[in-house]
Structure 1
């Protein structure tokens, strides 16, 4: 019945085999559903940086967006643009 007394080996080995098999399946599903990282220059990914995040806005773009939405007035916008121009590195 236990192949000459070796049945306890299989009884000890089978739970480990099932744990390893389930772990392998979970790893494969996670691996196959993730987007490839480090492909910023991939075609068709201009709107994101290849990782599902929007591209980072520059300070000028943030200022323009806030002015366009009415968060800041014209005087504040003009003053902030001048300050940003002063701190911009020169070529």
Structure 2
């Protein structure tokens, strides 16, 4: 009689663990699509173009900086 009670308790614990795992997985999967991806950082050329568009630099400064950026792109 003691053996069947132990089996019943183990069965109950197993079922509870399985349902708990299923509930945790469901919550985890449902939350996942709601996470927002991190925005990509602007490239150095993007920053340079924005500065030129805002009037922070002259055309000559922009062309010189862009040429230096392109030199470094070839090094990679």
| Structure 2 length-normalised TM | 0.57
What number of residue pairs does the alignment pair up?
Answer: 66
Q: Deviation of residue 62 (structure 1)? A: 2.4
| Structure 1 length-normalised TM | 0.50
5+ residue gaps, structure 2, are: none
5+ residue gaps, structure 1, are: 37-50
Question: 1:39-81 deviations in whole A, cap 9, x for unaligned?
Answer: xxxxxxxxxxxx522134222112344x37xxxx737x53322
Is 1:61 the counterpart of 2:34? The answer is: no
Give the match's secondary structure for 1:24.
helix
Q: Give the structure, 1 or 2, with the largest relative contact order (CA under 8 Å, sep 6 or more).
A: 2
Q: Normalized per residue, which structure has more helix? A: 2
Q: Go from structure 1 to structure 2 and tell me whether the alpha carbon gap of 1:88 and 1:14 turns closer, same or farther (over 3 Å shift).
A: same
Q: Aligned Cα RMSD in Å?
A: 3.0
